[in-house]
Amino acid sequence: MEEENGRVREPHSHRHDLAGEHPAGDAVQLVLFALFTGALIPDITVLKLSTFLRYTIGVWVRFPISAVFFIGGYFLIRRSHKIVFGRERETPVVITEGPFSRLRHPMYTGIMLMYLGALSYSMSIVALPVFAAAVLFYVFIAGYEEKLLEKKFGDAYREYKKGAGMFFPGRGGKE
C-alpha cells in the first residue's frame, strides 16, 4: 500500500483502467510466502519430516514435475502481469487477451503453480498446510476483486465469467 497525503491508498489506484485489488493482498502474500519458506526449508534441511516421501518418489520423477509447475507458473505470471500493467488503456475494458481468455486470475494461478513446484520437489508435508492457507487466501482475494470488477464492468464482466474459469481453464465459474 502507498501513502498519499497521510492516507493509505490501494496499490495502482492511480490507474483509472483497473478495477482495483484487495488492499492487504500484497502484504498477506508476502507473509504467506515467508511462512511457506519458513516451513519448507527447515523441513528439508533439519527436521526431515518428509524424508520418507523424497526417497519413495525419486528426484528423476519430482524434478521434471516441479520444473513444469515452476516454468508454467512463471510464464503465466509474467504474461498476465505484462498484459495488465504493461500499458494503461484509455477506455477501461474487461481484459480477455492472452491467459485471460481462459482464466480470470492467471497471476494467482501462476503463483499457486510455483508453490506446487516447490511442494512436488521437496515433498514437504510441513509446508502443505501453508499452501492450503495460501489457496484459501487466493480464493478470498479473487472473490473480493471480482466484486470490484463486476461493479466497474457490470454485465460485461459477468458475461466474461461464463467463459473463463477462476483458476483453471474452463467454461467459467460460479456467479
Residue 170 lies in a domain: no
Q: How confident is the model at residue 6 (pLDDT cuts 50, 70, 90)?
A: low
Q: How confident is the model at residue 13 (pLDDT cuts 50, 70, 90)?
A: low
Residue 3 lies in a domain: no
Residue-wise DSSP of 121-169: HH--TTTHHHHHHHHHHHHHHHHHHHHHHHHHHTHHHHHHHHHSBSSSS
- Overall domain count for the chain: 1
pLDDT in tens, 72-105: 999 999 999 999 999 888 889 999 999 999 999 9
Residue 15 lies in a domain: no
Residue 40 lies in a domain: yes
Residue 173 lies in a domain: no
Quote the DSSP letter at residue 104: S
Quote the DSSP letter at residue 6: T
Residue 101 lies in a domain: yes
Residue numbers of the domain that contains 137: 29-163
The rounded distance, in Å, linking the Cα atoms of 156 and 93 is 9
Count of C-beta atoms within a 10 Å radius of residue 18:
21
- 153 burial class (0-12, 13-18, 19+ CB within 10 angstroms)? middle
Say what the pTM is: 0.87
Residue 38: per-residue pLDDT: 95
* Mean pLDDT calculated for residue range 152-164: 94
